[in-house]
Amino acid sequence: MVALENTASRHNMVVCTLCSCYPWPVLGLPPVWYKSAAYRARAVRDPRGVLWEFGVTLPESTEIRVWDSTAEVRYLVIPQRPDGTGHMNEDELSALVTRDSMIGTGIPKLPGSAK
């Protein structure tokens, strides 16, 4: 498994274009959309548009990198740490991380938000 760090200048997104290479031992069962042909094709062709549909809008200056998982190599995204979380401990931070943020189709929750 390869961990990819999101930063202010780069956002990583994971897809498997040939099958359903999903790190289910870590993230649980994959969402239905992850295995759909439409997601797999569009994530490679139009990652910014797919992110927008998931409610993620990134600055144009942010590079979006799409990683294609295989049966041999699976990718997992380390989400960018939200602003204002410098005082938080590991347990508090882990509560902000979502499955989608570890695939790259989402961002971590904000502290104090129910979203």
Q: What is the pLDDT of residues 99-115, one digit of tens each?
A: 999 999 999 998 877 55
Q: Which of 21, 69, 94, 113 is catalytic?
A: 21
Cβ–Cβ under 8 Å, residues 16 and 71: no
Residue 36 appears among annotated catalytic residues = no
Residue 21 appears among annotated catalytic residues = yes
Residue 9 appears among annotated catalytic residues = no
Rg (CA), the chain: 14
Q: Calculate the CA 53 to chain-centre distance.
A: 14
- Kindly give the parts of the chain with pLDDT less than 50: none
CA separation (Å) from 20 to 73, 90, 104? Answer: 12, 30, 16
Q: Which of 9, 16, 69, 94 is catalytic?
A: 16
What is the reported pTM? 0.89
Residue 94 appears among annotated catalytic residues = no
For the chain, domains (ranges, CATH) are: 2-103 (3.90.330.10)
CA separation (Å) from 91 to 85, 86, 95, 97? Answer: 12, 13, 6, 10
Q: Which of 9, 19, 69, 94 is catalytic?
A: 19
